Amino acid sequence: MAELPQVALARDESHLISEAKAGNYAAFEELVNRYEKKVYRLGMNITGNREDAEDVLQEAFLKAFEHLPEFREDSRFYTWIVRIAVNEALMKLRKRRSSREVPMETSEDENGEVVVREFADWKPNPEQQFAQVELERILQGAANALPPGFRTVFYLRDVEGLSTEETAEVLDLTVGAVKARLFRARLRLREELSKIFKRGSIQ
């Protein structure tokens, strides 16, 4: 029976990590090539700034390389690099707070799920292009207006597709705290989008 693609990929990644730990720079570069776009996008989503996102990308992989000997090979490399990137991005936000408003809020102990449409890759046909580009802009703006703690959980779960457990591991939170923040983020996002649509901001 043919090997499942994800199993083969995991074994290949394990080999790359072993090689990188042994000093093979080409192996680490391959890991960078696999995940740099996702890490940059994550940095951009959290910081909302291209220069900061580029710094997050570089600093995350530099720290990953520096601490590679500490990486446990029974873990997913992607989850590990995302945790590093999130920490770097949140550090950027904390440094920026002195000159720009970055509201921070603590999550409440609420559990529950509210089903809302998740972000998706927009592939409009020509007739729908303008409306969908405008909708994507509104969704992005509404998500960026979330407090950083909620926004980070929202992007990791609903945009990047990490599981609740992986998100908890990345952010060093309990699963319950992740669910609570995600619930609050989705609720706020839905309320904000409802206000926008009622005002007729999109045709």
List the domains of the chain with CATH numbers.
Answer: 5-96 (1.10.1740.10), 129-198 (1.10.10.10)
- When pLDDT is cut at 50, 70 and 90, the band that residue 93 belongs to is confident
What gap in Å lies between CA 44 and CA 183, rounded to an integer? Answer: 22
What gap in Å lies between CA 130 and CA 107, rounded to an integer? Answer: 36
What gap in Å lies between CA 153 and CA 182, rounded to an integer? Answer: 6
Task: Kindly calculate the radius of gyration of the chain based on its CA atoms and give it in whole angstroms.
Answer: 19
- When pLDDT is cut at 50, 70 and 90, the band that residue 184 belongs to is confident
Cα–Cα nearest to 64, from 96, 117, 93, 27 = 27
Which residue bears the tokens 């292009």?
Answer: 129
Torsion angle of C-alpha atoms 39, 172, 151, 188, degrees rounded to 10: 150
Residue 162: the pLDDT is 87
- The answer on pLDDT for 1 being more than 50 is no
- The answer on pLDDT for 3 being more than 50 is no
Residue 41 carries which side chain, given as an amino acid letter? R
Contact 188, 101 (CB under 8 A): no
- When pLDDT is cut at 50, 70 and 90, the band that residue 34 belongs to is very high
Angle at which helix 50-66 crosses helix 77-96, to 10 degrees, equals 130
